[in-house]
Amino acid sequence: MAIRFHEKTKEFHIFNGEVSYLMRIMENGQLENLYYGKAVRDKEDFSYLHEEAMRSQMSVCIPEPGILSMQYTRQEYPVYGTGDYRSPALTILQENGSRIVDFSYVSHEIYRGKKAITPLPATYTESEDEAETLEVTLHDDVTDTDMVLSYTIYEDYPVITRNVRFEQKGAQKIVLERAMSASVEFLDMDYELVQLSGAWSRERYVKNRRLDMGIQSVHGSNGTCSGAEHNPFIALKRPHTTENQGEVYGFSLVYSGNFLAQAEVSTFDMTRVMLGINPEDFAWELGQGESFQTPEVVMVYSDQGLNKMSQAYHRLYRKRLMRGTWRDKARPILLNNWEATYFDFNEEKILTIAKKAKEAGVELFVLDDGWFGARNDDYRGLGDWYVNLEKLPDGISGLSRKVEELGLKFGLWVELEMVNKDSDLYRAHPDWLIGVPGRFESHARHQHVLDFSRKEVVDHIYEMISKILQESSISYIKWDMNRYMTEPYSRGADASQQGKVMHKYILGVYDLYTRLTTEFPDILFESCASGGARFDPGMLYFAPQTWTSDDTDASERTKIQYGTSYVYPVVSMGSHVSAVPNHQMHRMTPIETRANVAYFGTFGYELDLNLLSEAELESVKKQVVFMKEYRELIQVDGDFYRLLSPFEGNDTAWMVVARDKSQAVAAFYQRMNKVNASWLRLKLQGLDADTLYEVSCDLAPSASYDDNIAKIYGLRTDEDMVKTYCAYGDELMQVGIPIDREDLNKKGGDFASLLYTLKKVTD
């Protein structure tokens, strides 16, 4: 790992053993990108990688006889108005109405380690030896503004992070109308754009499209979150790149609010990628002595396919984005009462469900919505964070201790950013709503958005919820957020400050998270946003896991979790076994398949175990035992590999392999069963070719179906139901595991799954 500045050629080389990033100071004082990709040897001069030629309609930005034109230059941080007619990374409105700026190189600093960009979340280091940082300061003379471009390269990851800071030194006020976090340019357009898109209950589906001339982008403009429609991530991959070979560049924004991720191809085939805060309805005024910090972009390069890109994100985000007590810990197996009771519960019903959960080996009981205020439905009560004593006469403090006396930890659901108009909070503070005076206030789920851009609102919510946490024995908080922002306007800000409202709202959310996680460091926080609408790196900095989707159907979850794994580690994915018929899809799936999907996440249950058959309850107990044995491997230690895509066929498969290659867990899922079909081979990845593994698969018939299945297949004992054999890693990866379709029939046929464990055979 190193960052070198070559004084003679005015070139910067940022590199480690896997990746290189080259740029230079041009004749006009701006920065040009020369190369980004697989690591190359450092040397004094790469200036010949700059290309320029006289072209028709070209505007030249330096005195003659120079021919430097910004339209045909791969810039590090482009602006509009001086000859570049593509989208800019920066727009600054000045007092005279001009938006023309000229940021030229002043100085740079190279230092070991990485600075925080508080109050924004970002990746970090625990030792200065883990990373090195370059900060390049550029200055615009007319506005007297500094711009600091920051680049950090990690020693052990193919990762470069980017962010930008603006410092206004001049007397005039300026307005940042666009301030992207990073801009990267590529010489050609021979790429496919990968994005993660969808909607409620089908979040983060993998979408690919070939780049062409013009702009291709995804964005979020929801105000309260990054959104279910598009994730703040894109990748550029070569057309023939697969999971295991080929080039791919990943770009992930560490931010939870409005964002823009864009790829623009010029008519000369150059590709410009930009990520940052969405400029729509963004206007940040800076006076003398004030500064603005953009969010961080995490860029990952892989020349070994999409799996390697994802594994780099997984390792970095597990170790150097997540923080606190739970960062390196496997997660407790929980049961959440939401789909078991919805709002209809009392203390007796809750304790009955909790007792059965304890019998099954569950470790944490979570009380979901309906415990506070007058909350008997979703029309009322939000904002009133005091217990409903009619339902829970001994309060949350009493219930939490009763649950703990059963031998379980206790968790609680909250939705701190929202309010119903039928609430004591709204009646006391109607001006605390986001909304425009005199305009209709759009509603969603019968609720409205509290103005978290105002400190007094955040203070009030903090005081209410911290009192509950202080008085009770709470080990887990599920922080939900169930609507997007409309009519974005703060009654607490004047006209010149309204362009700050949505970003300040997110800063308010981060502030409340910071206070609560600081005061209650042992609580496990899970973020949630009407399912997976807030699954982004910014949230993982505060809450090390996120509810992946409200859709708990096992078959649909293979798509959702597969797409989510492009960026986010398995341990960050909230995943539960729920009842059938599924409450979202109304589909029947085997209870084994529901667990086999949920294992590859935080794992838990969202049902009333008292309603299961004896056979199903025995399956649950086995599932809990299995997860306790393998959760360290799946959640903490292992590397995740995608094997078969649910977006490309009837089957899905993935696996987790221990870092030392000593053990693995692999899963195969099918959607619809097939009759008289061809043979199957499941080819694994990531194993040690020379290691002999014992491969095991439990073939017990699904407990969701009639016991006659066991009679049909002549299965008599547990030993009959486990298939075991030994094979070397090279065979398992090149030849694969033979899958007998009759085994899938035993598991229920449609939506059946098989789970394989692999352990190194020792002499």
Yes or no: say if 636 and 329 are a contact pair by the CB < 8 Å rule: yes
553 is catalytic: no
* Catalytic site residue from 480, 551, 553, 651: 480
Residues 6+ apart with CB under 8 A from 490: 434, 451, 453, 454, 497, 498, 501, 504
Cα separation, 628 vs 362, whole angstroms: 10
* Catalytic site residue from 550, 553, 608, 639: 550
Q: What is the helix (H) or strand (E) element at residue 446, kind and residue range? A: none
Yes or no: say if 566 and 194 are a contact pair by the CB < 8 Å rule: yes
Between the CA of residue 541 and those of 122, 447, 527, what are the distances in Å?
7, 27, 11
- What is the number of residues in the chain? 763
Give me the DSSP letters along 366-426: EE-S-SBTT-SSTTB-TT--SB-TTT-TTHHHHHHHHHHHTT-EEEEEE-TTEE-SBSHHH
Yes or no: say if 454 and 432 are a contact pair by the CB < 8 Å rule: yes
DSSP conformation class of 672: S
* Residue 278: both structure tokens together: 């969405």
Between the CA of residue 502 and those of 224, 257, 323, 361, 449, what are the distances in Å?
7, 7, 26, 44, 11
In 3D space, the residue among 602, 589, 605 whose CA is nearest the CA of residue 554 turns out to be 589
In the numeric block, the tokens 């649909």 are attached to: 556
Yes or no: say if 102 and 142 are a contact pair by the CB < 8 Å rule: yes
* Residue 438: both structure tokens together: 């005199």
Cα separation, 652 vs 127, whole angstroms: 40
Yes or no: say if 19 and 37 are a contact pair by the CB < 8 Å rule: yes
CA atoms within 13 A on the CB side of 320: 23
Active-site residues, by number, are 480, 550
